[in-house]
Chain A
């Protein structure tokens, strides 16, 4: 990648396990347990305070960081007033200056792609539904999530979905604050970068289609030429996949921006889940169902024939 000589940025300095971080304003203390991840705007640690675990995000840039805190505050106020996500906002004073941080609920779960890989394909339906519900919640309150990607979607044991990293949250009508090319409507030539409900739905479809068919997962967005960026191409493998056939029209509509609201998309998704359930849930059970259907007429008629034969034989004997 980059030549040794042109590295002008020093490496981010990470905090070691056991470091105690005390807030400058609220004086609450947290002990660093381990690194959870590093994003565009900051580093997230698992921390412990009074024997409870939390996630702590330390921001790189005071302005970006505060902007994320503001979005979280608004969402907490409107969406979950009794169970806030955001628990503490403060600065960590070091010898080299202050680092802004916030503390949030620690969500135990797996990233969506890991979850689906470990649990199996039929979980796509409930997980997708729960994710749409989360998005709809935001939309109802005048925001979009913006930066929807695998890394930002956590799934708990039974498919409950939590969004993490609110750096992309944008009020409806403004320019999307943060996005990732391969899920971005603008990158795919599918429309503008203005925050509307369709923007999140587009990302949702692009995300799921790349999740379901890892072969078409795009690692380096610069390798796809602009003229080849036709989002409907992502739908191709779905045409041959019977398990997800009910989802085809939904993804298509999402990529084309034809859902007026995420509520409509959610309703369609629920309907599709029912349809899929009636057809037989999993890829595995479907083949089993098929085999049973294929076998049973022969088996059945053979059984009936032999039963009849037996009856006839017995009848003849007792005659």
Chain B
């Protein structure tokens, strides 16, 4: 199972539409989750809409949180996305076995809007499929989902916006990566994490940390960053999709630091 978690604090401003890029990811069965990190600075309506749209196109979830809740949020999203994907598979199987049709989907969508903390996007069809089952059957289904969720192999790419306004939040981002790694390691299924940052120098995104399950490596992240001010979210997503599907190409030097980079 493959996921991208995009961590940003505003709008993209160059290159391909990030929503289209997220749709491309979804087509490759890669889920895109988005977290908007907002501390003091407000995010405008356009930024919020873009974040929501990217997640919707990427069949993932979106949240806007202050940086102290970033770590928690990313963990929750990762966990829920796995459970949700498994649930879809289980649901398809169930449909075949029980022959039940999913007629109450629209109902559930409205519910998640009105009733609290249900996450944007993901849960729209989740309650409908589960709630149509009797509580006893539901218990069994959830048991299967949980078991598979725990055991399925998982690859997560964190795509970090390191443009100017994100700088003060990078400590929280580093913490989030360390913490997510810790939780992934605890799973029974094999889990790996990679980290990309954008913008790069002359490139859209730079591989900061290749697939790893090593906790120690997270301490060395983001010490050299680019000064370039653009936010090429769309192209960065495309680059990550390529990385997930094909790995790093030989002609690229992922860890090289450009001259214009500065120490934080």
Contacts and interface: CB of A to CB of B under 8 A. Distances in A.
Interface of A: 1-13, 25, 43, 60-63, 66-67, 69-70, 73, 89-91, 94, 96-100, 173-176, 181, 186-187, 192-195, 220-222, 226
A3 B113 contact: no
A297 B145 CA distance: 73
A25 B132 CA distance: 11
Contact of A61 (B107, B118, B183): B118
Given A89-B135, A100-B131, 19 more contacts: A3-B42, A5-B43, A6-B36, A6-B43, A7-B64, A9-B120, A10-B116, A13-B115, A63-B80, A66-B138, A70-B142, A73-B139, A96-B111, A98-B127, A173-B188, A174-B187, A193-B186, A222-B71, A222-B172
16 contacts: A6-B38, A6-B42, A6-B64, A8-B52, A11-B116, A43-B116, A61-B127, A66-B142, A96-B111, A97-B110, A186-B183, A186-B186, A187-B179, A222-B172, A226-B175, A226-B178
A192 B182 contact: yes
B142 A63 contact: yes
B188 A174 contact: yes
B41 interface: yes
Interface residues of B, number: 62
B107 A97 contact: yes
A187 B71 CA distance: 11
B232 to A, nearest CB: 23
B166 interface: no
Contact of A222 (B67, B119, B145): B67
Interface in B45-104: 45, 48, 52, 62-68, 71-72, 80, 83-84, 87, 104
A97 B185 contact: no
A12 B116 contact: yes
A1 B146 CA distance: 34
B90 to A, nearest CB: 11
Contacts of B87: 63
Contacts of A99: 111, 115
Contacts of B119: 61
Q: Is the interface of B mostly helix, strand, loop or mixed?
A: helix
Nearest to B69: A222
B50 to A, nearest CB: 12
A96 B142 contact: no
B130 A9 contact: no
Contacts of A66: 130, 138-139, 141-142
A160 B197 CA distance: 52
Given A62-B126, A193-B183, A67 B116 contact: no
Contacts of B146: 67, 70
B126 to A, nearest CB: 6
B186 A2 contact: no
Contacts, number: 150
B264 to A, nearest CB: 15
B120 A8 contact: yes
Contacts of A100: 127, 131
B144 to A, nearest CB: 11
A25 B135 CA distance: 8
B115 A96 contact: yes
Contacts of B45: 5
Interface in B177-210: 178-179, 182-183, 185-188
Contacts of B38: 2-3, 6
Contacts of A25: 134-135
A96 B138 contact: no
A63 B143 contact: no
A7 B131 CA distance: 28
Most buried by A among B68, B115, B142, B146: B115
Given A5-B45, A222-B175, A175 B183 contact: yes
A31 B171 CA distance: 47
A195 B68 CA distance: 25
Nearest to A89: B135
B119 to A, nearest CB: 8
A195 B185 CA distance: 12
B123 interface: yes
A222 B173 CA distance: 11
Contacts of B183: 175, 186, 193
A91 B119 CA distance: 19
Name which of A90, A176, A194 has the most chain B CB atoms within 10 A of its CB: A194
B17 interface: no
Among B118, B126, B134, B186, the most chain A Cβ lie within 10 Å of the Cβ of B186
A97 B41 contact: no
B188 A175 contact: yes
Contact of B117 (A60, A192, A220): A60
Contacts of A67: 142, 146
B79 to A, nearest CB: 8
Given A3-B43, A67-B142, A192 B185 contact: yes
Return the 3 tightest CB-CB contacts between A and B, nearest first: A97-B111, A12-B116, A3-B42
Contacts of A97: 104, 107-108, 110-112, 114-115, 127
Contacts of B83: 63
B107 to A, nearest CB: 5
Contacts of B65: 2
